[in-house]
A = this chain, B = another copy of it.
Amino acid sequence: MTIDIEKANQTTVERMMNARPILKSVARARDVIPGIQPNLLLHAGPPIEWPRMSGPLRGAVIGALLLEGLAKDEKQAVGMVEAGEINFEPCHHHQAVGPMAGVTSASMMVYELENVTHGNKAYSNLNEGYGKVLRYGAYSEEVLAKLRWMNEEMGPLLAEAIASSEGIDIRALLSESLHMGDEGHNRNKAGSILYTAKLAPLLAKASKSNDLLSETLKFLGENALSVLNPVMAACKAMADAGHGVEGSTVVTTMARNGTDFGLRVSGLGDQWFTAPAEVPDGLYFPGYTSADANPDIGDSTITETAGIGAFAMAAAPAIVTFVSGTPQDAINATLEMYEITVAEHSHFTIPQLDFRGTPTGTDIRKVIELGLTPRVNTGIAHREAGVGQVGAGLVRPPMKIFEDALVAFAEKYKL
């Protein structure tokens, strides 16, 4: 079998870069995400069942069952799960992504994006902000109250505002925010206020209550991660556009469930390659150390998959105060990623590197040849359910998943 891997890889990245995801609506997961069921919970990362789930993912599962009203308390929730009454599937199997635990249930309001170039859709839940949040495995009444407010108050207002517009071009927003010190994964300060500023006039027109409007604008504007979830869905739409190209060795999914790091490759269909996720190396909040840290978790590595996040570190020198290092380290991080990628992004450019495009499209062959895995910026979750974020830092996927993928590639294509 003769395959032109270089050409296939170019097709993959061109599809990824040409994808133009537009935020089109906010709606209930059950009304829009394909295949969702009342007793199905979506989660971040590759497939995993309850016995192997880490603390933060278990916490988020419990929280979602409480939110859905399927369980009255933690005990009942765990009992239902252990009795096999709840099904678990990756967000990635449903055109969706979620930060950290990524747990998404039927009644949650979600963002719906459409890649208007190729027609595929992608979904993500709404960002909860800081402090005690479901995505870090917290499920206290305070956490659930905020989720209910997001689902019943803010969500419908967002839905009406976005419906009244022609949609929000998230690729264009990212292009702008990368010129404003964001890298799009751990640092989304500029993107989040750009997003808030774009939504504000629409929300004002849609509003029926000054108080809810004011609360919503404050919630979006003060959360430097407001835009992370639409950004992740945009990256998912881009990565999906590049998935399934025969003969391509470009990575189209990187995702972690808190136990395993999972990888998928454009030319290898829906097969996951997994290995144990590592504990990130970074800065911890006061009172916490790496002994408190859960292994790497979340679908947010979809940003690096699409050519931003740690790959665009050079654009975000101020991030080093949050994840450790110097501005020169940030430049070097991006320069290193050019070694293992196949293209420079045509829409995401880095002023600090004379407007060079971000390194895009990780080639598993280059990863193996150079012994160099992709860089990932990430938040760090406490290893126990219900605690929350304890730091932020850098991590790399295990080399084994690239090795396994390359072996599978050689087998499939009889190389």
Provide the residues of chain B in CB contact with A353, threshold 8 Å: 327
Provide the residues of chain B in CB contact with A327, threshold 8 Å: 351-354
Identify which of B181, B207, B320, B354 contacts A181 (C-beta below 8 A): B181
Provide the residues of chain B in CB contact with A145, threshold 8 Å: none
Find out whether the CB atom of B200 lies under 8 angstroms from the CB atom of A205: no
Provide the residues of chain B in CB contact with A394, threshold 8 Å: none
Identify which of B179, B204, B351 contacts A214 (C-beta below 8 A): B204
Does residue A254 face the partner (Cβ distance < 8 Å to B)?
no
Provide the residues of chain B in CB contact with A207, threshold 8 Å: 204, 210
Identify which of B204, B317, B318 contacts A204 (C-beta below 8 A): B204
Provide the residues of chain B in CB contact with A217, threshold 8 Å: 197, 200-201, 204
Provide the residues of chain B in CB contact with A190, threshold 8 Å: 180-181, 190, 193
In the complex, what's the smallest C-beta–C-beta distance from A406 to chain B, in angstroms? 37
Residue of B with least CB distance to A350 = B317
Provide the residues of chain B in CB contact with A197, threshold 8 Å: 193, 196-197, 200, 217, 220-222
Residue of B with least CB distance to A194 = B193
In the bound complex, what is the Cα–Cα distance between A321 and B215 (angstroms)? 37
- The 9 closest A-B CB pairs, nearest first, are A317-B351, A197-B221, A204-B214, A201-B218, A200-B217, A179-B318, A318-B351, A204-B213, A201-B214
Does residue A411 face the partner (Cβ distance < 8 Å to B)?
no
**Which residues of A in the span 315-356 have a Cβ within 8 Å of any Cβ on B?**
317-318, 320-321, 326-328, 351-355
Identify which of B176, B205, B317 contacts A352 (C-beta below 8 A): B317
In the bound complex, what is the Cα–Cα distance between A201 and B190 (angstroms)? 18
**Which residues of A in the span 65-113 have a Cβ within 8 Å of any Cβ on B?**
none
Does residue A189 face the partner (Cβ distance < 8 Å to B)?
yes
**Which residues of A in the span 158-205 have a Cβ within 8 Å of any Cβ on B?**
176, 179-181, 189-190, 193-194, 196-198, 200-202, 204-205
**Which residues of A in the span 206-247 have a Cβ within 8 Å of any Cβ on B?**
207, 210-211, 213-215, 217-218, 220-222
In the bound complex, what is the Cα–Cα distance between A163 and B400 (angstroms)? 60
In the bound complex, what is the Cα–Cα distance between A326 and B356 (angstroms)? 12
